[in-house]
Amino acid sequence: MKYLLYLLLSASALVGCVADELSMLVLGSRSIVILPEGTARVAITSGNGNYAAVSSHPEIATVELQNDTLLLSAISLGTTTVTVTDSKGQDAALTVTVGTKTVRFTIAEYTLQIEPEETPEREAIETALQTSVPLPVGARYECEYLTANRLDGNLTVIIPATEEDEELQYTGTFTEGAETFTFQYNNQTYIYRYESSSGPSKATFDTPYLLFLEDETALTEEYKARFPDAGLTFVSRGQMVRISQ
């Protein structure tokens, strides 16, 4: 009987120890960057419930708790620390930086389409298209998105140095539309239609490349006038650009 009582007490103590066992307080991320006026969510992936969260600089970013998720709202540029605590007195920190985002588009190659394909002046037309490109292969557009709610911002165009020439830089602006991308620099405006399942500003970038296409109607009419005997029906020139951040 005493042995049975001992077993019952031991089992009860073991259950009590398991019940009191701590779960580490873990966040889904240790740091995050948010555009001004933007929001973000970070999950609490492990902990002991009854969470509380506070931002060290609420003028930079605020935090709200929605069940086991932190809802962060960016207010102004800067960095703040969000501290999360649980019912067991554990704490975890999340560094929140509110800043602009720069997306870089580097020209990897040019694509040409000329119809009809068997025109006798094809070689001359290809040469004309290749020598009149607005930027060389290797040049890049650096687009700085300033807020989460506007798809425009500052533009820097960089043409790398060559053996003959030094690096060139132009500054300007850009605007991302639903189907077009507009670059304004060096007193010129360039409008491209882009081909992708999502716009360039999307953070995930399912594909590492975009295709920037010039106005095909205007380009076709221009080359019809330049090569009237070629019987041209369609001319297209695009920039295959590599995306990086």
Question: How do residues 79-111 score in pLDDT, each as one tens digit?
Answer: 999 999 999 999 999 999 999 999 999 999 999
> CATH 2.40.128 in the chain, residues?
101-244
Give the model's pLDDT for residue 172.
Answer: 98
Task: Judge whether 116 and 231 are in contact, CB under 8 Å.
Answer: yes
Give, as one character, the DSSP assignment of residue 193. E
Beta bridge partners, 144, equal 102, 154
Check residues 21 and 230 and name the one with the higher pLDDT: 230
pLDDT at position 8, please?
Answer: 45
CA 192 centroid distance within chain: 19
Interval 154-173 mean pLDDT: 96
Quote the CA–CA distance of 241 and 138 in Å, as a whole number: 9
Q: Is the confidence at residue 233, as pLDDT, over 90?
A: yes
Residue extent(s) of CATH 2.60.40.1080 domains in the chain: 25-98
pLDDT band at residue 196 using 50, 70 and 90 as cut-offs:
low
Domain 25-98 is found in CATH 2.60.40.1080? yes
pLDDT value at residue 72 = 97
Q: Which residues contact 70 (CB under 8 A, 6 or more apart)?
A: 27, 41, 42, 43, 44, 53, 63, 64, 82, 84, 94
pLDDT surpasses 50 at 206: no
21 pLDDT above the threshold of 90: no
- CA 207, CA 105: separation in Å to the nearest integer? 13
pLDDT of residue 207: 55
**CB distance 213 to 113 below 8 Å:** no
Residue 239: strand pairing partners? 110, 212
139, 107 Cβ separation under 8 angstroms:
yes
Indicate the pLDDT class of residue 211, thresholds 50, 70 and 90.
confident
CATH architecture, domain defined by 101-244: Beta Barrel (2.40)
Q: Which residues on neighbouring strands pair with residue 210, listed in sequence order?
A: 241
pLDDT at 123 over 70: yes
Phi, psi angles (nearest 5°) of residue 205: 55, 80
Q: Residue 209's pLDDT is what?
A: 80
The pLDDT of residue 5:
44
> Which has the higher per-residue pLDDT, 100 or 11?
100
Q: Which tops the pLDDT comparison, 20 or 133? A: 133
Q: What is the pLDDT of residue 195?
A: 77
Beta bridge partners of 61: 74
Q: Looking at the whole model, is its pTM more than 0.85?
A: no
Asked if the model's pLDDT at residue 60 lies above 90, the reply is: yes
CB within 8 Å of 235: residues ≥ 6 apart: 113, 114, 115, 125, 129, 216, 219, 220, 222, 223, 224
